Every structure is written in C-alpha cells, then in structure tokens.
Chain A
Amino acid sequence: MSNILEANDISVQFGGLLAVNNVNFNIPKKSIVSLIGPNGAGKTTFFNVLTGLYKPSAGNIVYDGRDITDLAPHKIAEIGIARTFQNIRLFGLMTAQENLLVAMHSHLKSGITATILRTSKQRKEEREAEERAQEILDFAGVGKWTYEFARNLSYGDQRRLEVARALALNPKVLLLDEPTAGMNPQESQIFIDFVRKLIAERDVSVMLIEHDMKVVMSVSQRVTVLDQGEKIAEGSPDEIKSNPRVIEAYLGKPKGSK
C-alpha cells in the first residue's frame, strides 16, 4: 500500500524547546491513522507542520510524490490537505453554505471583473459551487442548515460543519484535531460512523488526534504515540494497548521501578 503523505525526520524547535523531535510519520491511502499522546506531547504542533503553519526546523514532507515542506499554508490546502481545529474555528458570522464556498475559493476561478459583470460563466460556476456545497452539507448531515449562520448551530453540528468545510477543499488527506472533544458517547459514536462512511465513499485518508481512547481504538487502522515530542510507539490498536512504554507515558512508571 502506498502512502499519500510522508513526513520524514520532522523536528520543530521553538527557541530552546524541542516540540517535535525527529518524527517519521506516514499516512497510507484510504486509511484512518491516529496520533495520540499526553497533553503537550506535540501532536497539534505536528499537525501545524503538516498544514504549513509552522515550518519544520529539520525534515521534509512529501505529499503525493511532491515535496511540500516549503509551500504556503493556502497552497497546501489547495493541493488537498484539509484540517479541522481543536477549538472550532468556523466563520461564525457566515452561513454554513458560505463557509463551504470559502473553502472552495482556491478551486473557483472568477476574478474581480467577472464577479462585477456577473458573466454567465461566473454565474454557472457559483451555481455549481452552491450545488456541490449542498451535496457536502447533506453528506455531513447538516444539510438543513444551509442558510444558517455557523455560530447558531449546535456544538455537534458545528463539528460536522467544520469537517464539511474541510471536505469542500476536496482533500486527499483530512486532518481532524480532537473531533469528538466535548461530545457525549452517542455523539461520538455518530461521528465515528461518519468518519467510516467518509473513508468508504470518498478517496480520502484521515489522520486523527484524539484523547478519547474508545474512539481511537475502534476506528484507527494504525496508532502512533507521541510523548514529549518523540515517537515512542506505533502499531495496531491492540499492540498499542499493551505497549509498556505507552502505559508509562500515560500513567507514569510503576512504583519501585527505575
């Protein structure tokens, strides 16, 4: 199985702090992989490197056979790496539809003059974009909120809308940063089903940062554990569950051992 995204020997340094230290990570095509670790382990930093927000101090990132280490964030988004945020960052005062249309920005073409003159080409493009947005909203289960301001949606719907917005970029890699944070078990279960449906129906790979172990273990094909910026384990959910280093990182060393 080939990889859609490969991050090789990534290090990120903030002043004297090594937030991510020499981490290798790859995402196979059409898969769900998870990144877990205690708070402050460098998971979100690693995400920010993948999306171009931080530049790694060492290492490189290859997406679909192309080195994207030095690309600007909006370029990385455009070629197909989309993300959601740990704390929801929707455009609250824009409707659900507009949120998705913003994400389609880089795939639409009309310039200033075409927009002012409302050429038939521009109108057609807008209409098609709106139809596609509706399709994605329906797929994500927020289809009835098309003309509602994003901030007025319920928490779960906002989470779903954020995924829908990321999907509007037509990504091949979807990075979800703690998507089930603040959800109750039923909502989490609905979300897991949604992610599974996503993989089944669309040509997309999902990378997940998650604290809810039930979600991680039930949905991921592979789990990677970060602790203090270093990769300490990688493997199938079952392997991770019984890995002593992982248990140590989460629970501390057993009493009496050195």
Chain B
Amino acid sequence: MAKTIAPNNVAKSNRKWITGYSIIGLLLFITYQFLLPWEGLPLGIYDAIYRWMPPSAINESLVYIIMALGLNIVVGYAGLLDLGYVAFWAIGGYCAGWFMSEFFYFLNINFLGSVPAEAPGIHINFWMVLLIGGFVCGVFGILIGAPTLRLKSDYLALVTLGFGEIIPQVFFNGENFFGYNISNGTKGIVGVDPIPVGVKNLGPFDFGWKLLIFLLLTAVMVFISLRLRRGRLGRAWLAIREDELAASMMGVPLMRTKLAAYAVGAFAGGLGGVAFATHVNGVYAERFNFTISIFLLAMVVLGGMGNVWGVILGAFILSWVNGNGLTAFGQLYNEQFGTDIDFASFTFLLFGLVLIFMMLFKREGLLPESRLKLMLHEDELDQIDASSKSGDK
C-alpha cells in the first residue's frame, strides 16, 4: 500500500529525459534526412521505411503529438473535458495562413519573412508566427473559457463541443464574413511561406529538416508540461481535478486556474496549427472537423491522461494507424494472401474497438500517471480485500 514519491528532483529527471529524447530525435533526423536519400541504402530498407513510416507521416504524427500534449493539460491535468479542441488547431492554422502567405494580396508587409520583399501579402517570419499563433489561440482559449468554465463536467463538454463546431464553420464559410474574406472558404489558403532556418528556407518537401523542427516543438511542449506540472499552477490544476470545492476553500481561484489551463492548452493548439499549415503547405477548412477533437481526446485517453509520455505514445500510435499503419498492413496482408480488402476503411471500427477494450481492461491508458492508476483500480482492490476477508471466514 505504501507508495511514496521521491522528493522533488526536477533538475535531474529533466536532464534524463532531455538526453534520451535528443538521442532518439537525432536518430530519427539522421534516418530521414541523410539515410533515406543515401544511394547506398539497401532497397528493402528504403521500401520498408516508405511503406511503414514515410517522412510525411512521421511529421504529421508529431503535429498530432504537439496538440495532444496541449489537450492533455486541459483534460489530463485540470480534468476539464474539452470536445472542441479542433477550434484552436483551426485558429493556429489560419494564423499561419494570414501572416505567412499571399492571402492578403492587397497588402505588402514583410517582416523578416522568407520570401522576397516585393511579394504581395503578409509575410512574417515563421518563428514569430508560431508565437503569434500560440498567443492568439491562448487569447481565444480565454475568450471561450470565460463564459463556459462556470459549467461543470457534462455541460462544459457540450459547450466546448459547440465552440468546436462554430469556429471551423466560421472559417468554412469565411469567404464572406460580414463582407470580408477571412479564409477563402472551401478553397482554402494554398501555399504558405517556407520556414527560414538561417542557411536555407524549408519548403513543403524538406521533410527531414522539418522533422527536426517539429521534434523541437514537441520537446518544448513536453518541457512546458513537466515544468508546469511540478509548480504552483500544476498543483492547483491537480487539486481542481480532485475536488473543486475543497480547492476553492483552500484559496485556489477556480476561474483563473481553469482559464490558465485553457490558455496553455490552446497555445499548444496554435503551435500545432501553424506547424500543420507548413506541413501541408496550406490551410484547408475541411480538415478541421469534429472527428479531430475526438481523435485527439482518444489519443490522450489511450496513452494515459496526465502523463506526457503516455500521451505521446497514444498520439503516435493513433495517428500512425490512421495515417499509414493500417494501409501498410493491409497492403502486406493483401500481398500475402492474395485478397483485396480495403483495410483503411476499417480505421474507425478499429479505433472504436480499441477504445472499448481499453475501457474494459486498461482504463488508465497505456502509460498511466501513477496517481490515476491508483484511483481507477481502487474499486478492484476493495473487491480483492472484501473477497479475501470473506474467504477467511
């Protein structure tokens, strides 16, 4: 029963994960940037990588990981169910669309942009747009949160669901937003500026270098998550998750603390949005639909709410299955057995089954937070206690 947590030793544990993460990240980067284009690479390995984990798929996975980490702060840390997270992704994406493309062709603003100064439109440096996207989303998080966070559990979930529908719909029909074109509607904004990294500009097909950038963004989110978790705010989030009333009686301002969770979560959504826009080289309104919110939530739940490593694992698995894994597996299966089954169409059946089995047998997720595991298995422990006691008689 006695389960003790070692005293705070933040610096040491941070050094550990940063080392491990850097090694894995560097290996991935070398594989995709140098090994894959290398002519001496055996054709079998080349084919396998392209079939199972092509460069575009791993980059897309990382975008999902960034956003899942943001959602984890809202859902996993503060315990607020958010079914409309896709809204922040959309806002982040359109920040990239507005500030680093030729969308506003009638303007000519260039601030350290990666295109020639005479190009029409607003062209702000990618790294600044990242921050802009993050902060705009943070502000929207507060705007959406302020009226809704007074609600509890189910009601909050429903209202966030509403906002998750409203905001993408506004962009979807944004060709005429009170007389202004804010999104090009269904046509989307095609083409965003390449990412400047000093020596060169990274276009849509520089997968290897962009992998490195996305890895960096993921690391930043992990860092922020872990640091906040151990600090004053993280404790307040946890306390709210445990017992809202007791937390407010202990001097924790509920509204402000919840808004902070929303804002930080939305910030990550903004990062993900900007990153995704550069990944697909454009912003397309039909990508931002409700299923993404559920998809992200499933990643957090599958991986293990509240534990960043679990969330990363969950996000990686689900986005991989959705993007490439199942198709590749289907291809292999069809080749082996001469069948002709369209495996990709079973994606959501598979997700449904996985979630059902997870809830039945491993509710706390793949890599759970130790606290949560304790809570979710308490009733079972009680049952064991009860049965062993009755067995004594």
Which residues from chain A sit less than 8 Å from chain B, CB to CB? 51, 53, 72-74, 77-78, 82-83, 85, 89-95, 98, 101-103, 105-108, 110-112, 115-116, 118, 122, 126, 130, 147-149, 151-152, 165-166, 169
Q: How many of chain B's residues touch chain A, expressed as a range?
A: 35 or more
A130 CA / B235 CA spacing, docked (Å): 13
A149 touching B371, Cβ below 8 Å: yes
A73 CA / B245 CA spacing, docked (Å): 9
A98 touching B260, Cβ below 8 Å: no
Nearest-CB distance from A186 to chain B (Å)? 24
Given known contacts A53-B249, A77-B249, A169-B251, A148 and B236 CB-to-CB distance under 8 angstroms: no
Given known contacts A110-B232, A149-B3, A91 and B249 CB-to-CB distance under 8 angstroms: no
A85 CA / B248 CA spacing, docked (Å): 13
Given known contacts A110-B232, A115-B231, A152-B2, A103 and B250 CB-to-CB distance under 8 angstroms: yes
Report 20 cross-chain contacts, Cβ distance below 8 Å, ordered by A residue: A73-B249, A85-B249, A89-B243, A91-B242, A93-B242, A93-B372, A93-B375, A98-B238, A102-B238, A102-B252, A105-B235, A105-B239, A107-B251, A112-B264, A116-B227, A147-B4, A148-B2, A152-B3, A166-B250, A169-B251
Chain A residues, CB < 8 A from B230: 115
B253 sits at the interface (CB 8 A): yes
Instruction: Please name the residue on chain A nearest to B4 by beta carbon.
Output: A147
Instruction: Please name the residue on chain A nearest to B247 by beta carbon.
Output: A102
Nearest-CB distance from B346 to chain A (Å)? 38
Most buried by A among B235, B254, B374, B375: B235
- Contacting chain A: which of B6-14, B104-112, B204-212, B278-286? B6-14
Which residues from chain B sit less than 8 Å from chain A, CB to CB? 1-8, 10, 223-224, 227-228, 230-236, 238-239, 242-243, 245-254, 260, 264, 371-372, 374-375
Chain A residues, CB < 8 A from B228: 112, 115-116
B248 touching A74, Cβ below 8 Å: yes
Contact of A147 among B6, B227, B375 (CB under 8 A): B6
Instruction: A94-B371, A148-B2 given; name 7 further pairs at CB < 8 Å.
Output: A73-B249, A74-B248, A85-B249, A89-B243, A112-B264, A149-B374, A169-B250
Chain B residues, CB < 8 A from A91: 238-239, 242-243, 246-247
Contact of A103 among B3, B5, B251, B375 (CB under 8 A): B251
A115 touching B248, Cβ below 8 Å: no
A63 CA / B173 CA spacing, docked (Å): 55
Chain A residues, CB < 8 A from B236: 102, 105
A82 CA / B248 CA spacing, docked (Å): 11
Contact of A116 among B3, B6, B224, B249 (CB under 8 A): B224
Nearest-CB distance from B298 to chain A (Å)? 23
Given known contacts A105-B232, A112-B264, A116-B227, A95 and B5 CB-to-CB distance under 8 angstroms: yes
Instruction: Please name the residue on chain B nearest to A78 by beta carbon.
Output: B251
Chain A residues, CB < 8 A from B254: 74
